[in-house]
Structure 1
Amino acid sequence: MNTRSNPGNEHTDLETATRIAGLMHRKLQGTLDADGETALESWLRMQPESQRSAYTEMQEMPVIESAMQAFHRYDESAALDDVWLRIGEKEWQQKGKVRRLWLRAVAAAAVVLVAGSAALYIFSHKHRQTPGTSVAARYKSDALPGGNRAVLELADGSLIGLDSAGSGTLAMQGNSRIVKAEDGVVAYDDHAAQDAAVQSWNRVSTPRGGQYQIALPDGSKVWLNAASSLRFPVAFKGGERLVELSGEAYFDIAADAARPFRVAVTAPGKGPMTVDVLGTQFNIQAYGDEPLRTATLVSGKVRVSNGGSAEVLAPGQQAVLKGSHRLTVQEADIDAATAWKNGLISLENASIEEIMRQVERWYDVDVVYEGEVNQQFLGKIPRSMKLSDILKVLESTGWVHFEVNGRTVTVKP
């Protein structure tokens, strides 16, 4: 099929861009079958040399990563401008306005399918609707992304809604003052209550659709992901600093060699897991609905144990625990493990079930499945997008389709 454009077949060109981008995506993943190889090679043979060279450039990770860095700043023009600087748009700009539109559509589709960005939706939705059932019929409802939402439970049972509370002093516990800063971070501004007879414990909990940052009494910083909770003392006493985590959190621990920091990790129906640190940055994921619990070390040194085994991690490593099995250690994908903290949903080598569990927690929806989607995705999508936009980006691969009705998302092949 010759894809050279004219003003009368822009719709066809955009459809072709999407189809070819899908073939490129599967080619890069190593999942393109013989028919797909034939179709892609046939299309390439029909293109001018400049486009064949562009296809080669699109497969180079520095190009993709540079584009994604711009996309993560939610600026599609900057991202594509960066791509074009690398793959020679200046030459192509002389080909005419409509031809530039088609070339930009191809590049946008290639970048989204290779790197998981929202670009394809931005381009294609302006020109066409999803074939078959209308978008309006399939997306009866929508959901906004989550935000900074959490509840602080004090030792006496009092509850403080952190997202609705104003800045300033939230509560006094003995001589310790709990303060909400202008940027929303909650901190304990005093190491008081060290000599109290009874240790007091507080808990910060985020709902589905929530996240929050807190500074602990020792100055350590913790970012809580959605549907998570952290229990911690008003003041750290004795020879260790112990906190209890359920869900997912990123830790930046204040160094104190005399008092090691310990995270007791809990997940419903699963055995114990403990992370011991001195001064370091790491991510722990321990949701009850995830088959694996992980501790990913960004910097420093940690010891991860589950009662029956223990492993010491070096930066860039990840401890993995499946059920009550023995711990295993593997090289970590730091960007994927900490994507949520950086405002992204990670698709890296993820199944649709893994992706949708993230969607459930962040958008506070329930997901059901009709049929199987046996594909591994890759890339990252901004968590600031509406639910419908996230789903349309995933649909752009052609591998999966969705219907949204109320708070329920149905996944179909």
Structure 2
Amino acid sequence: MSRQPIPRFEDNYTEEAAQARRDFLLQQTGAALSHTGHYSLKASDVRNNTENFVGVVQMPVGVAGPVLVHGEHAQGWFYVPLATTEGTLVASYSRGMRIVSESGGVKVTVADDQMQRAPVFEFEDARAAARFVAWLQQSNGDIQREAEQTTRHGKLLHIQHWQVARMVYTRFNFYTADAAGQNMSGKATRAACQWILKHSPEAVTYFALSGAVETDKKHSHMNLVHSRGKRVIAETTLKREVLQRLARTTPETMFKQRQRSAVGAQLAGSAYSGPHSANGIAALFIATGQDEANVVESHAGFVFMDITPEGDLYFSVTLPSVICGTKGGGTGLPTQQECLKLLQCDGEGKAKKLAEIVGATVLAGDVSLLSAILADEWVSSHDAYGRNR
């Protein structure tokens, strides 16, 4: 059988073009795509989001909460949309949200906010590379000007650099406002590097716009230390009475398990030291039109606990690289826009608010799952409500 290309048209974002591709796939594979081809958005809505459009995958969306959030941007009660096919997930997050809310809520802080592109420059030898680094630092103003000419909202914050042999690995750090910012920072960095290549006093023998130090859509220790996206810290103090009544456990039991699971996570080389940050992040990202691949960076982080003098449990989650936005990407699609409105995160100036809700959601989910493990309700809940049914 010879290669049969997927049909393309002068305008690929019409209902007729989508239907023609579905008909073609039916002929080629026998798959009718009758459900995939049933949707409420317009084909033209996805012009900037996908290619060879044939329809949509309908993902169940449940609502967890409400959760009481005391953020610098997100303040009050929030109902959180979670797109998932995992039974018990929404129920578990709702339970965690009740536990933390009845304990007084979740305090959330965005401690850092920057997005990167990381070019590599190569020179004749290490001394030429070292001279380039000195010139790069002196030329920061000119480089910043060139970068920021490409964007209305982006700001070049600073440039990191590491010299290895005759190479200089750099990391251009940008503030990207309401956008997640990967494309914005890439375009701005390219413009800056065109100026650098033209004006560098040292001959650049090799250049690439990415030297892989930004670790785009990959987990890395770099992004634990130097945030890619928003560094989100969520904190709560779980009251002893609330834990006993709603979670059927105690602060001491949770803290003891934390000590042991921390060793297990280190033994496994886990990117996250808590129960399951990726669950809530992935479900919330899909519901609100984030780039789902950024879950790999966003889920990494640390859980820290302590017993308070009053005998309650301080519980915190630190997510160093939450990559989310409220403008661009899939955030403007109809159902994703509705989920953002549900969170009051549509419009200008809402990206940090969304990041704070992400942090609160992860913390609530961790509290619930850890409690279920300790109360021996983890398996039984899945048997009753979830995938084992």
TM-score, normalised to structure 1, is: 0.26
Comparing both chains, which one has the higher relative contact order based on Cα–Cα distances under 8 Å and sequence gaps of 6 or more? 2
Which one has a larger percent strand, Structure 1 or Structure 2?
1
Which one has a larger percent helix, Structure 1 or Structure 2?
2
TM-score, normalised to structure 2, is: 0.27
